[in-house]
Amino acid sequence: MDEKMHKHLRTWELQEKIMECFQTILKCEDELKEMRHDDLYDSGFNTIETLWKNFERVQNGQGLVSESLGKYAEDPCFAIAALLEKQLPTLQSGLRMQGCSILVQDRCGRFCITGQVDESIAEQIRVYCSRPALRK
């Protein structure tokens, strides 16, 4: 098998793994919400910290962590959550946040936000895509 074909196959393999993990994340978040969890924080071992935050509640104005904004040195997971919280779209945008997973390892923060698109956004997408500057 040539290099180009190998790269193509590997790309699809990786994309499939990502989608499988995504489905697992969604199922776990749904269960956490059913159990009425908002924040799950673990300072873990060595230099690893993790946080899962119910961003649906944050988007609805509950469980806010904005007081942690700018406190990355003391509490990196909550500082990242506060920064993301500040950047969340409004409910009217049609983007509904679900959960946010944050991993901080060796002072490097990574995050993954899940969410849903409600029916109102279909019209927004149609209008946006119909703008002359966006068509080729």
User: For the segment 46-83, what is each residue's pLDDT rounded down to a tens digit?
Assistant: 779 999 999 888 887 787 788 888 888 888 999 999 88
Domain ranges of the chain: 1-36, 38-134
- Tally: H helices and E strands in the chain: 4, 4
| Residue 88 tokens, joined | 């969340």
Position with higher pLDDT, 7 vs 95: 7
Q: How confident is the model at residue 127 (pLDDT cuts 50, 70, 90)?
A: confident
User: For the segment 84-111, what is each residue's pLDDT rounded down to a tens digit?
Assistant: 888 876 555 678 889 999 999 987 999 9
Within 10 angstroms of residue 119's Cβ, the number of other Cβ atoms is 7
100: left (phi over 0), alpha (psi -120 to 50) or beta: beta
Quick one: pLDDT at residue 116? 86
3-state secondary structure of 46: coil
